[in-house]
Amino acid sequence: MSTKKEIIKDVSLYAFATYLTQALDIVISILMKRFLGPAASGIWAGLQVILMYARHVNLGTADAAYREIPYLRGKEEFQKAEEIKNAVFWFSFINALVLALGIACYAFWNRAHLSAPIFWGLLTVAGLIVLQRIYNYLVVLLRAVRNFTLASKVMIFSSAAGLLPLLFLTWKFKIYGYFAATLLIFIFNILFILSHQKFRFPWTLSWSRLKPLITFGFSMMLLGIADTVFRSMDRIVISKFLGFEQLGFYTLAIMAANYLVSFPNMLHVVLFPHFQEKYSKRDKAEDLRGYVFQSTLALAYLFPFILGACWIFSELLVAWVLPQFRAGILPLKILVVGIFFLCLNQQFSILLITLKKHIILIPVTICLTLIAVISSYTAIQHGYGLPGVAWVMAVNYFVYFMIYFNLGARQVFSKRESLGLLARIMGIVLYFVAVLLALELVIPAPANVLFRSLMRYALFAAALSPFVWILNRETGLIRHLKEMIRDRFSKVKEGNAEAIPIPPEAPGPAEV
């Protein structure tokens, strides 16, 4: 199978798992908000900020391993990949355990000054820090060896197995039940992975293997921290100056953003090991040109279909299920536009990390964070509220993208090619936003919100349909998908055992 077809197959499989999972997660998230209400939802959103920072407790070694393992496998240096895999696991586990104990001690020491939900929430966060580090690293290993079949199964299992306990415990015990169910879901996920992929982690803390990973990973950790602060700045500012209830309203936009970024994340997850293996052959940046160009085009042309759905159907969601979150609709729509630019960073981020030229992004991100803080605070002080904060973040996401694009494109494209690609991207975003705004004017708000939403999206999809034709002409994406589907049905019709899309076990770091 050609590399392009393999990538399309893996993306298709991962996309199916992602959107099936999201369908369940959307239902779960909506019901959780209904059971918890704005105040409790705001408390959990605030606690999640701790988890966002805690992912960097391994000093970037897991991210470095994600880069080095497929790179070494591309060079067929499997023993080095195995040693890195084991050393990073124990280093991450010990660091996570120390941080978790520190948070638990803080919670008990200050128990008299903490509300019950915050106290138990901190203990939950302490447990999640350890469980998430184990789970996330196992998923990293599955992706590094390109076992996307099991990675997809894990996603589906996580949502399906956690659905009933999460709903029941939250309905019965409110936020405390939600805390307990979240811990149980991560435990189930870890056991599921280990029962299907026999990872082994012999005790080792080899400094010779960890030192270069820490050196490289530390810069990635700093970039990750800076990126986390930048992306979470709207939540921090809102909770500080507007309160948890307003943050609860804003979680509608946060929820939408989290689901929207999953689409480019699928492409990122599949492409990352391919980038490393391709680059390991000759260590030449120009070898990655096709990956960057075609993946950027595919994302730019297809992502607006999902952004438009989020924009249009958010009103239906609020009208039918979350009427108390109506104040979050406008911030959601504003943030949708910014997410388009934020998600186009993915390919250029992979490229810069692959070439180890990502360090310059650290001071850039810090500067943008300071700008976001000042401008968000100013927007709130002038009475623009949640929409003002959303506008600030959307503009900053655009600036963020322009910096990534400029730094990445110059590595693989000529100036003329870079300007041509940028012109396409800007034309696409201006077009789909204009269509959305025109539809809101042309189709006013009738009593039947379902009919209005369906009519708007049908017209929106029709207006964007030329994007699919252009993409297929330039990349052959639709043709490859048709060939894959035809081949798969042919195998099923012939009774071929290979019709089940489970590839043979790759000799991952656990088996080499």
pLDDT, tens digit, 9 for 90 and up, residues 249-261: 998 998 888 878 8
Q: What is the pLDDT of residue 161?
A: 74
pTM recorded for the entire structure: 0.73
Quick check: 492 pLDDT over 80? no
Q: Show Cβ contacts of residue 207 under 8 Å, excluding neighbours closer than 6 positions.
A: none
283-297, 364-378, 396-410, 476-490, range with the lowest pLDDT? 476-490
Decide if pLDDT at 501 tops 60.
no
CA atoms within 13 A on the CB side of 494: 10
Residues 269, 408: Cα–Cα separation, whole Å: 18
- Residue 445: predicted pLDDT: 60
Q: What is the pLDDT of residue 488?
A: 59
Q: Which amino acid is at 375?
A: S
Residues 6+ apart with CB under 8 A from 71: 276, 277, 279, 280
Sign of CA dihedral 432, 433, 436, 437: negative
Choose the weakest-confidence range: 15-24, 101-110, 375-384, 488-497. 488-497
d(CA 88, CA 65): 7
Q: Under a CB-based contact definition with an 8 Å cutoff, are residues 201 and 511 in contact?
A: no
What phi and psi values does residue 223 have, to the nearest 5 degrees?
-65, -40
What does the pLDDT average to over 287-314? 91
Amino acid at 464: L
pLDDT at 406: 93
Instruction: For residue 205, report the phi and psi dihedrals to the nearest 5 degrees.
Output: -135, 55
Given pLDDT bands bounded at 50, 70 and 90, which one contains residue 4? low
Q: Classify each residue of 447-472 as buried b or exposed e, where b means 16 or more C-beta atoms within 10 Å of its C-beta.
A: eebeebbebbbebbbebbeebeeebb
Predicted confidence (pLDDT) per residue in 184-228, tens digit: 888 988 999 998 888 888 887 777 778 888 888 888 888 878 888
Place of tokens 């009519």: 455
CA distance 330 to 252: 10
Q: For the residues 222-237, what does the mean pLDDT come to? A: 86
Tokens 């138990």 belong to residue: 120
Are the C-beta atoms of residues 156 and 189 closer than 8 Å to each other?
Answer: no
Residue 1 vs residues 8, 43, 358, 483, 489: alpha-carbon distances, Å: 11, 49, 32, 12, 17
Other CB atoms within 10 Å distance of the CB of residue 4: 15
Q: Quick check: 451 and 307 in contact, CB under 8 A?
A: no
- Alpha helix stretches (DSSP H) within 197-288: 207-241, 244-260, 262-282
